[in-house]
Amino acid sequence: MRFRQRTAALVARLRSGFDARFGVDRRGLAAFRLALGALLCLDLLLRARSLRAFYTDAGVLPRGTLHALYPTLSRLSIHALSGALWVEVALFALAAAFALAVLLGYHTRLALLCSFVLLVSLHARNPLVLNGGDSLLRRLTFWGLLLPLGSRWSLDALARVRAGVRDARPTRVATAASAVLLLQVVLVYAVTALFKHHGTLWGRGLAVRYVFDLREFTVFLGPALAGHALPLTVANDAWLALLTCAPLLVLTTGRIRAALVGAFALAHVGLLCTIGVGIFPLVDLVALLPFVPSFVWDGVERRLDRSRLPAVTGALADRLPTPRAVAPALPAGARRAARRGLAVVVCVLLVAMCAWNAASLGYADLGTEGRVDPGQYGWNMFAPDPVTTEVWYVAPAETTGGERVDAITGEAVSWAPPPSFERQYPTARWRKLLRNAHKRDLAGVQRAYAGYLCTRWNAAHADDLERIAVAVAVQDARLDGPEPVTHEVRWRGTCAAAGASAAGVA
């Protein structure tokens, strides 16, 4: 009898510890859903600025080049079924509709599933513009499918209330899926820390200084901080220390965990205000929401109850078709089998996730050589060391009127460092694509880029471009002063020849 009592007490303590560390408040899941839906909408809006350039055959990665570079990955893309602009616009609009449904919590799981499928398809259409934030966004969307994101603060939840269904489920969700969601985020930070510890500049306190010395990356407050050694060195050491402490996000609870979440959030806000890496900091902020302790959500809920938001939500619900409030009840045995099966699947995915991260660090070999390289999809932004070269493109071109211009800037050709990188890299995704084309010497992409520049110029000027070259200029960054500029022509020809890439020339 004593043995049974001790065993039961031990099991109860383990369950309590698991719940405290790997359980997620349902309101935290609701906030996660709201932020995830908003982020999916924002991501589509930002990508739409370069929709023709990035996702059609008239852009920098026509489908022929895509299939040549990524023969396996490109098969996953619905967007790659057509190279027409109107098809891409329709798919973007469809994805936005599902993202809005996720935001509102309307048929949440179905909307999230459709959003995930379209997100994977969009990413597979142009992998050259992706960064670690996109990879994390896919994972967050997938793990969200396994969790009750619509159980609070949603139109689905409101439908249940109006149908008179009493929600007797516990406030916290403590399952294998909740644990994997939290562990996914911790793994991102921990693997990033390991990458940085493998380098030399982070340990010497110089990495952040080098990042801020590269003008193509700094935005907003970044240029004002560049050159100030003390605050940048402090930021370098503080960020490395915080990443190293990432496992404490699941090992601690209560106010200590809240303080850690606040510290990570503050770091991501700082990154957002100084370094242009797209939505990466916003994805990280969304990923932190499930870690927020329940006492924080208690305060948030009290404030929401005193606001006009419940009335606004109710009015919106009146205008939409009511979601089905209650799913058909399954027999108890079927529900238990489904929960156990889901737990097994999640555990297998957790092992796969750990193996993938180990492979990205070089600790394991998954035998994927020639198909997918985990090292290309790891959490190694600015790691093991940040890049120490500034790269920009120059496109010497000749018009039909005999004028010689840079097709990128519209000005005279110059190999000097540009005063601003906004024309070379209008967005962080343009920088990612063109840096990838330079790093991997992707002739097909550089040729398609030349064709895109010709098309853009000819649409805006009376004298068409006749001949064009695509060159890459490189300047090493040194904290005590820059090095000389070197440049190399990567592609040269006529605009007619460059435009042939749109027809599938790789």
- 239 and 368 co-located in one domain: yes
Residue 13 lies in a domain: no
- 264 and 127 co-located in one domain: no
pLDDT for 332-383, tens place per residue? 666 666 666 766 777 777 677 667 666 666 665 555 554 555 545 556 678 8
pLDDT for 415-439, tens place per residue? 999 988 988 899 999 999 999 999 9
b (16+ CB within 10 A) / e for 302-336: eeeeeeeeeeebeeebeeeeebeeeeeeeeeeeee
- 84 and 179 co-located in one domain: no
- For residue 471, give its domain range: 389-503
Residue 297, pLDDT above cutoff 70: yes
Residue 330 lies in a domain: no
pLDDT for 1-11, tens place per residue? 677 777 777 77
- 154 and 244 co-located in one domain: no
Classify residue 485 by its DSSP letter: E
- Of 243, 242, 231, give the one whose Cα is nearest residue 205: 231
Name the pLDDT band for 206 (thresholds 50, 70, 90). very high
Joined together, the tokens standing for residue 206 give 């110089």
Residue 504, pLDDT above cutoff 50: no
417 contacts 390 by C-beta, under 8 angstroms: yes
- 308 and 263 co-located in one domain: no
For residues 50 and 454, give the distance between their C-alpha atoms in angstroms, rounded to a whole number.
Answer: 16
Residue 110, pLDDT above cutoff 90: yes
Query: Is-cis flag, bond preceding 384, omega within 30?
Result: yes
Which amino acid does the sequence have at 340?
R
Q: Final residue of a domain: which of 385, 411, 436?
A: 385
pLDDT for 172-182, tens place per residue? 999 989 999 99
219 contacts 274 by C-beta, under 8 angstroms: yes
Residue 437 lies in a domain: yes
- Total tally of structural domains belonging to the chain: 3
- 258 and 272 co-located in one domain: yes
- 121 and 79 co-located in one domain: yes
Work out the average pLDDT over 53-73: 95
